[in-house]
Amino acid sequence: MRAVHLLARGFRNLADLDLDLPPGGAAFLGPNGHGKTSVLESLYYPVLYRSFRAATDLDVCRWDGLGFQVTVQAAGGGEYAASFLRDGRKKRITIDGVETPRLSDAVGCWLAVAFLPTDLHLVQGPAAERRHYLDRVLSLSDPAYLRALLRYRGVVAQRNAALRSGRADLARAFEPGLAEPGSYVVRRRLDWVMATAPRFVAECAAMGETMTPTLHYRGNPDLADPGAWAAALEGAAAREAARGMSLIGPQRDDLVLELDGHPLREFGSTGQQRTAAIALKLCELTTLGAMRGTEPVLLLDDVFAELDRDRQERLAQRLGGPGVRQVFVTAPRRDELPPALELPVFEVREGRVSREQ
């Protein structure tokens, strides 16, 4: 996929934006707080129709505005748009000018992968960060996964409410609804990790990592079989009643990152942790491209910070190599971009975006 035009109105701290985009991507340069990340955020918004900064739509509105509008036009046709009115908190989503009443029908029609500095939480943070990463990647690449995940979450929420109320009998009534969607979620996660682990190692090595990284799934692989759930739930019944929550299932699992057999979050340097987080994003890019038959746009916010010069150059060469179609990066200054990264430059000042001559 390639974005050929971006329109944004009332979006964050950006001045009204009506921007033609180069086919290979661009570098957005400017001081912190002037809107570089907001440009990337507007390009990503039609992927999930929400902010990649975990913000609400109200937060995305310009402070003095009535709402916002964002439209991404893709090469070869395709227009992905959303508008939001602060008064009434009404959001309207359209694809090719036709309103889409259900969010699930619009999610993933436009594809982009974004790296933010906060994505270090994928390595440094709790298991929930990595589960969210897995769920996003698999939901965007496999609509059946998204349907199974939503069904499973709905049943778990009802079951947890029963357990919190001390209604073990009611909790048991929800158990038959867990096995089918839960097993699909576990099975797809296991398949993804098995297929992706070698690529994760290769991406880290390509950026100059000399130690041996590993990627594996921590959970009960037996739950990939729907027939294994009844015994697992029975075995945990007493503990779940005491804790008032569901303790069996993929909502408890983790994606484990290690370096030479040691937890990366504890023993890796900041540069090594950042390398691993970037590698996960490149694996996401590969997964979505393979499953959907078209490579997503790649959005990288201040990605070269805290990488040594060698890793910066290696990453720049990777971004310009085969398989990546359109890349947008941000940095405060031109001298923070590796020489090997050859992209048109746009200046971002006080929310205004202009192409450098």
Span 169-191, pLDDT tens digits = 999 999 999 999 999 999 999 99
Contacts of 97-103 spanning 24+ positions with Cβ under 8 A: 103/49
Asked if residue 93 and residue 136 are part of one domain, the reply reads no
Considering the domain boundaries, does residue 117 fall inside one?
A: no
Asked if residue 37 and residue 142 are part of one domain, the reply reads no
Asked if residue 76 and residue 208 are part of one domain, the reply reads no
Considering the domain boundaries, does residue 189 fall inside one?
A: yes
CB 99 within 8 A of CB 74: no
Q: Where are the beta strands (DSSP E) in 202-322?
A: 213-218, 254-259, 262-263, 297-301
Considering the domain boundaries, does residue 254 fall inside one?
A: yes
Closest CA to 146 of 195, 104, 183, 187: 104
pLDDT of 47 over the 80 cut:
yes
Asked if residue 319 and residue 273 are part of one domain, the reply reads no
Considering the domain boundaries, does residue 166 fall inside one?
A: yes
Print the domain residue range for 28.
Answer: 1-111+294-357
Contacts of 118 (CB under 8 A, 6+ apart): 53
Considering the domain boundaries, does residue 131 fall inside one?
A: yes
Task: Give the mean pLDDT of 340-353.
Answer: 92
Asked if residue 321 and residue 251 are part of one domain, the reply reads no
Write down the pTM of the prediction: 0.91
Asked if residue 278 and residue 196 are part of one domain, the reply reads yes
Closest CA to 255 of 113, 75, 132: 132
**Amino acid found at 174:** F
Residue 217: which CATH number? 1.20.1050.90
Considering the domain boundaries, does residue 202 fall inside one?
A: yes
Predicted local confidence at residue 157, as pLDDT: 96
Q: How many domains does the chain have?
A: 2
Asked if residue 345 and residue 279 are part of one domain, the reply reads no
Asked if residue 176 and residue 229 are part of one domain, the reply reads yes
Positive or negative, the CA dihedral 58, 86, 132, 43 is negative
Q: Which of 292, 316, 331 is the last residue of a domain?
A: 292
- Of 324 and 290, which is predicted with more confidence? 290
pLDDT digits (tens, 9 = 90+) for 189-234: 999 999 999 999 999 999 999 999 999 999 999 999 999 999 999 9
pLDDT of 325 over the 80 cut:
no
Q: Which of 292, 311, 328 is the last residue of a domain?
A: 292
The rounded distance, in Å, linking the Cα atoms of 159 and 165 is 10
Q: Where are the beta strands (DSSP E) in 199-344?
A: 213-218, 254-259, 262-263, 297-301, 327-331
Residue 308: which CATH number? 3.40.50.300
Asked if residue 152 and residue 229 are part of one domain, the reply reads yes
Asked if residue 150 and residue 3 are part of one domain, the reply reads no
Considering the domain boundaries, does residue 116 fall inside one?
A: no
Instruction: Give per-residue burial for 294-319: e unless 16+ CB within 10 Å, then b.
Output: ebbbbbbbbbbebbeeebbbbbbebb
Instruction: Give me 178's structure tokens.
Output: 């867990």
Closest CA to 213 of 148, 161, 265: 265
The rounded distance, in Å, linking the Cα atoms of 177 and 30 is 52
Q: Which of 248, 275, 292 is the last residue of a domain?
A: 292
Asked if residue 107 and residue 39 are part of one domain, the reply reads yes
Asked if residue 70 and residue 6 are part of one domain, the reply reads yes
Considering the domain boundaries, does residue 118 fall inside one?
A: no
